Amino acid sequence: MIPQRTVAPRIQSGISVDKGLGVCSAVPDNPAVGANGIGRQLAGSQTRQAVSPAAHRTLPGAPSWGRVLATTVSLWAGRRAARLRHPRLALILTACVVVAAAAVVSVIQVRGTSPRTASASASRPQAAPPAWARGAAGTVRTPAATWAASQLSSAETVGCDPLMCAALRAHGVAASRLVPVTQGAADADVVVASPAAAGQPNAPVLLASFGSGANLVEVRTAPPGGSAAYQRAVAADLAARRSAGAQLLHSQRIGVAGPAAAQLQAGQVDSRLLIMLAMLASQHPWRVVAFGGASPGVAVAQAPFRQITITGPDAGDLAASLALVRAQNAPYQPAQAAIVRLPGGQGVTRGQLALRIDFAAPSPLGLLTGGASG
């Protein structure tokens, strides 16, 4: 017989019914009392199922705490629902208990499986890094290979020692472009190797450098016409870039301020960018946000900026300008061109659309003077 309880007005078995909302409250009952003996029957059945097979075989494992908790909550909910006088409150109680049980089981499963997963991961032997990535020299080859893969023209062949060649292949440079430096730098357009590597003395023009001392990796090229002619071409090209930059600064269709203006005036911008900017300004007015793409380890006078970010037209005009840029032929065909969203700052709105153009290294000489080379 179920003992009677005293229930306060508007309160039944710990469940508030104010404003028609049910709030779950886990009030413990006498475990010896069940609704129609269902609790005792289930418990007995589970005990028999758990004990009987034990005499014949070894159990695969004890039930998880989540399963034990779910079973316990289910039995308690059955006893509680049977005692309530209002079916609606019984339904609310049952739903609340099921949700709470599911949440607890999920937490137990996550906490229970995470250590096993971490233990399994820790027990797996980690693969050793490739030979080209090992040691201090390997930490230098990685940025050198990354730069060469993204900044050099895909039409250029690259001389390299065996480990550097492996690093370049791992970073996406096609094997057909790679030339072992033992065959001489004359067989490659660019050499990526240490200064002591075979072929480097035949490539005197420095395009980029990474690391230092015994772990130094340099990117070099051999200029047409020899070193003396190359130095004269470099000086002439610098003067031409300064003159072109000054003209662009006075254009009413090109807005430039801050560091970008100083870089234009100093001739530190690639000739291809200067010519491209003048062409685009004939279509729409633009504002230069920034120049970039400097070569690491090389003065900008020798390796000028090869990237520009500009804003101006609306989205439709940006798309048309992007198509125009991508339609150019060599040497004005960019390595990359895209419409990007700016992070903000430097006088631009966060999320503002801009056109970004990148040219590959090395920068050709003589485009502004009519004596193009490289």
pLDDT at 313: 75
Task: List, for residues 167-222, the tens digit of each pLDDT value.
Answer: 999 999 999 999 988 755 457 889 998 887 755 667 788 999 999 988 999 999 88
- Three-state DSSP at 287 gives strand
More confident residue, 45 or 267: 267
Is pLDDT at 31 greater than 50 in this prediction?
no
Is pLDDT at 9 greater than 90 in this prediction?
no
For the segment 145-149, the average pLDDT, to the nearest whole number, is 95
Average pLDDT of the chain is 75
Q: How far is CA 303 from CA 45, 59, 98, 218, 297, in A?
A: 83, 73, 69, 14, 10
Is pLDDT at 97 greater than 70 in this prediction?
no
Task: List, for residues 267-293, the tens digit of each pLDDT value.
Answer: 999 999 999 999 999 999 999 999 999
Task: List, for residues 290-348, the tens digit of each pLDDT value.
Answer: 999 989 999 888 899 999 999 987 888 899 999 999 999 999 999 999 999 998 776 67
Encode 119-137: b = buried (16+ Cβ within 10 Å), e = exposed. Answer: eeeeeeeeeeeeebbeeeb
pLDDT at 309: 96
Is pLDDT at 131 greater than 80 in this prediction?
yes
pLDDT at 92: 54
Is pLDDT at 113 greater than 90 in this prediction?
no
H or E stretch at 46:
helix 38-51
Task: List, for residues 223-266, the tens digit of each pLDDT value.
Answer: 877 778 888 999 999 999 999 999 999 999 999 988 999 999 99
Task: List, for residues 49-92, the tens digit of each pLDDT value.
Answer: 443 444 444 445 556 655 655 566 566 556 655 555 555 555 55
Q: Is 244 in contact with 271 (CB distance < 8 Å)?
A: yes
Classify residue 205 by its DSSP letter: E
pLDDT at 227: 79
Among 183, 181, 176, smallest CA distance to 192 is for 181
Lookup: tokens for 229: 């002619």
Q: Is 239 in contact with 271 (CB distance < 8 Å)?
A: no
pLDDT at 69: 56
pLDDT at 180: 87
Whether the CA torsion 206, 210, 212, 213 is positive or negative: it is negative
Lookup: tokens for 46: 């589970």
pLDDT at 350: 85
pLDDT at 261: 96
More confident residue, 366 or 105: 366
pLDDT at 355: 96
Euclidean distance between CA atoms 154 and 92, whole angstroms: 68
More confident residue, 39 or 220: 220
Strands (E), the chain: 11-12, 15-16, 158-160, 178-180, 190-193, 205-210, 217-221, 254-255, 286-292, 307-311, 336-341, 353-358
Of 34-38, 121-125, 175-179, 334-338, which gets the smallest average pLDDT? 34-38
Is pLDDT at 121 greater than 80 in this prediction?
no
pLDDT at 171: 96
